[in-house]
Amino acid sequence: MTFELSREHEEFRRVVREFAESEIAPHAARWDREHHFPTDVVQQMGKLGLMGLTAPEEYGGAGDDGDFTSLCVAIEELGRVDQSMGITLEAAVGLGINPILTYGNAEQKQRWLPDLVAGQTLAGFGLTEAGAGSDAGATRTRAELVDGAWVVNGEKQFITNSGSDLTSCVTVTARTGVSTAPTGEERAEISAFVVPADAPGFTAEPAYDKLGWHASDTHPITLEDVHLPEGNLLGERGRGYAQFLATLDDGRIAIAALAVGCIQACLEMSLQYAGERQTFGVPIGRKQGVAFQIADLEVMAQASRLLVYRAAATKDAMRDGGGPTPAELKQAASVAKLYATESAVTATRVATQVFGGYGFMEEYPVTRFYRDAKVLEIGEGTSEVQRMLIARGLGLPVE
């Protein structure tokens, strides 16, 4: 049995690759060097339909012509030339549009989705805090219902697409009270909200000085007495934590697709360089020490790609009413995320070694991929969290 993408998906891949190579690749090094977030290119991505691949036609999306697999194809192809633009698309759809599309009411969807789907605006995903990363349930942000309005106070960390000129809103989690579990144990009640970026008291703090993803928009945000209408509650009260964790299942598949793009870039750069660089009178690709490492890159690319698109197909089958369960999707997402992202970090190390001293010079793209890769093992669930989830999926009572 083989698994191959459809002819339509491969044709779509060619369209995105052409866009990435013409509109992104020539500028990626400069954007990285200048820490520039190219809003015009992000809007072009919207015009190409990339933001609407999983959205219904009524909001300007692709409807039945799009699916989650197409989104992964697009992320992979953008990530092949620039990881910053790849994560921008991944976060815009998987973390920005997805929570509103999945849990929003009709009014919220109509207000926010058309511009988000068109790529004219962006939304952030405010889950992580300084003391609540992998332990997201430890959130300290609070929302109180006062005189018919929610008053939100707190701080969020590492929020992508949260402070650009295109940012229209950020969905956030906040404590809204205390709930009692069936065991009688009291625990924090966590709900989700849509916070407009222009709301008084909402501040996108100065952008981070990051190791990589220099052309991606990432900020901490502060919420100080932000007053929201009751209607800005996203989904059911007390279900915000569960909603955001489910959102991350999709996001893990998408970020694994970004990792595949990174591996593919390392493979292509190494293969080309190994055919050009001469040592002892022959191309270095004739040396087993180099050739075998590049062979390993091919194995990583193929294995990672298969895991990613198997997980994406699982997601699409669920959308179509197929047989996979949420537990199966969670397991497939974690397996793909763990293997692909750790392979991407290894691939950048291998590629840098193939380039030798030049791999340490910023004039070669391999250095940018090296810097960009590490966060793939951290964002949207660390490798350690993925191993925990996989073990639990196997029935092990791991803490």
Total residues found in the chain within this entry: 399
**What span, in angstroms and rounded, lies between the C-alpha atoms of 247 and 96?**
10
Neighbouring C-beta atoms of residue 388, cutoff 10 Å = 17
For the question of residue 205 being annotated catalytic, the response is no
Cβ 280 vs Cβ 232: under 8 Å: no
Cα separation, 199 vs 203, whole angstroms: 9
Q: Are strands 186-196 and 233-234 parallel, antiparallel or unpaired?
A: antiparallel
State the catalytic residue, choosing from 236, 363, 380, 399.
Answer: 380
Stated as kind and residue range, the H or E segment containing 278 is strand 278-279
Handedness of CA 305, 311, 316, 317 (dihedral sign): positive
How far apart CA 143 and CA 130 sit, in angstroms, is 18
Q: Is the dihedral of CA 127, 95, 153, 35 positive or negative?
A: positive
In degrees, rounded to 5, the angle at the alpha carbon of residue 284 between the alpha carbons of residues 281 and 288 is 120
At 156, give phi and psi (nearest 5°): -125, 150
* The one-letter amino acid at 383: S
Tell me which residues are annotated as active site.
380
